[in-house]
Chain A
């Protein structure tokens, strides 16, 4: 035994030497070096003289990275995608091809992953493209890449991406917020969507989910809204753009300019006129907005738009999930707004508002904004399947005045209600009426009931 020791010692030290040499070799031959060598050869072809050719080929290999502090990311994609900002590489093979049509989105300022997805820190192909376990955002395919525009362009029309505008519009009108929270505003029956785009859900999954929720997520209480494939695509785009990332000012400044015109558009869209008047024209439940920018600083108004209750405790003004520039635009509009504007906005509605009409109008707005329409339908028709609830579906609201008094309905909205069971032994129905008293002011609840009753009368008259 003793006599073998030197041989064992020799064998082991040789093995150690081999292993450490292997480890060094493994570390010195990453795949990106091959790509850089190939690129240099490609580049050298274009050089006129042998001297410059040799100089190009002698470039030492190194990892290129773009530090994007404003986007909180580091992109190393250009370690292999070396021709991205070189127009002479227009016809080069991938991964060296020039990226045409970027406009102001230059790679040194924006990197790659903010639009394309993938793993910017990685330097190996599969890992960098995010096609590995444990990376939530793989590269977006051609079909979905334009959804990324919505990460910075959070407001208004995004040129060339009508899907985003449509998706946002559907989200706010179909009552999605009734179940889903977005940026802190909305219900809690479904998952919070604030960071939906950052979750590892494939675009295909999302799109399929909008068309048939139960097909991809068994037992999901989400009703089938019978979206068309275009609508499903639009909503998928919108979902993919929701990442809740901190963006530096450089990137937020490329968002929509907060012009008075945009503010006016929002003023119409959010139906502000049903509570506020401008110079006496309009409704009276909120303060008159003429000259409001002279009484309050822009910061004060901005805060009021973010959180009305904080500025005026007990204010009946609801919280709107408005972007920074949207609030700025509204303030800009209020600076210039005249009674004539109000008249025009009202005449666009086709009739002048009595206080009763104003309340009904406000109720209608709240009905859409807080997502009641998500379950009860935009026309109050109800009818979403709700297994084991009485009748097996969400009740229609067209005939509530026959079965309930106003006070009873007020109580149901305030406190919520579990639907009466069809079979007592059956499973709990997935959908239920949430309690709204912490989300809606008493005034809002009354407006909604007024709105419901206005619909009742209409349906009775037509009877």
Chain B
């Protein structure tokens, strides 16, 4: 069973107490517990079962403007005492930093909304196995599928964040995740693809038949890929890849990158960085949202932010430390975004496909080719050649490249947004990227 609030609060209170007693001027502590149970299947047989049960503790101790931190998985009081003492000793010899402090008291979350992010249902391993059998039976129906691997994970977490200014709050979350990876083979090639479903509530995950069919279909359609020539082309990003563009954007507007001067979006507030049809929103209170939260990792209340309005950058993602450096108030984004998304575009998916007589549709990128200092972007890609709105044949071993500053201005979006992940984008088209192949 997941530890209750009472247990975690008592541990947190003990830690704050010890820190104060030893001589820390301030302290902030997080105590967390998580239990996860996973069953893995391979080729319709049980492959692995995995149960994890872990406690975690971390503390920041302050002496005035000096700060240091310590973390551990051992929550015995005796061990906590030794570690907090060590943390305090380290703090003493750490140089002062004028921007170090606990978060602003009047920004802290006071009451919690019920976001419906905890489902108490427990699904035992036999039921997980039943689901995975169904899933793999469907996924491996086609003879071209030579291998299937699937998994089902149930995860429950609980935490308490407490600081010496009297903040003490936390809540439970749950997630249920199923996935299927298929390998298909024909005389020319072997290809892999996947599908997964991750939800807060057990009842909301995709049924095994749907998931299995998608995994199988998406894998088989990649068989016998061709390599295309090098040219400038419009590139369409499937939803599961398009969200990566938002993640890069979010990293570039984090207050730490801005304060350090290492972002290509520094000094761009109130500047037009996307075309005027683009709106980007970060909304923490979506019911059952995978990224939903009541407060950030410092305890500051998270509220909806319009990060980009009609193409104009309106906000950075600000935490207390970097906010002080930049002379900005924290907007509750210590630890990053919540539910981040592009608002829908005006065209349908079909219209987007027909925008150009020839383009490529990307379903997967590989590599870490985003440089957030310069905005340069270059990654490996697989997908399909699309002509006049029709999928012609699969392509691979190509790269797509450009610069975010330029790419952002050329983004157009379809109207097919849904909330499958914590970061979500409609299908995206970017004109004029460099495609390198033969």
The yes or no verdict on A and B being binding partners is: no
Interface residues of B (CB under 8 A from A): none
